Amino acid sequence: MNPFALGLMEEYRQNGARLGWLLSCDEEKAYIFRAGHEDYELLAGFNRELSGEDVLPGLRVDLRKLRENFSCTNGRIHALAGI
């Protein structure tokens, strides 16, 4: 994973983000950052949905749509979000 993107996610967390998603299209990996946790959770494969958990109840993001609608080349990061 791109060290710069990982650093941004850590910065978001340090500034109060309760939940963050870093999605790597090429690797089909989702890195989930949560407040109060030092590490991130790694989910392999885009055959799933992500949820907003208790931060944004009811929010669902279908990662299959990302695979279907975006070209994945050159290690691009297609989503970086902190809530």
Kindly report, residue by residue over 27-56, the tens digit of the pLDDT.
888 999 998 888 899 999 999 999 999 999
Distance between CA 35 and CA 69 in Å, rounded? 30
Domain of residue 58: give its range: 3-75
Residue with the bigger pLDDT between 53 and 69: it is 53
Pair 78, 70: CB distance under 8 Å: yes
| Verdict on whether the full-model pTM lies above 0.85 | no
CATH of the domain at 51: 3.90.1570.10
pLDDT given at position 79: 57
Residue 66 is predicted with a pLDDT of 77
Look at residue 81 and tell me if it is in a domain.
no
38 domain residue, yes or no: yes
Q: Rounded mean pLDDT of the chain? A: 83
Domain count, the chain: 1
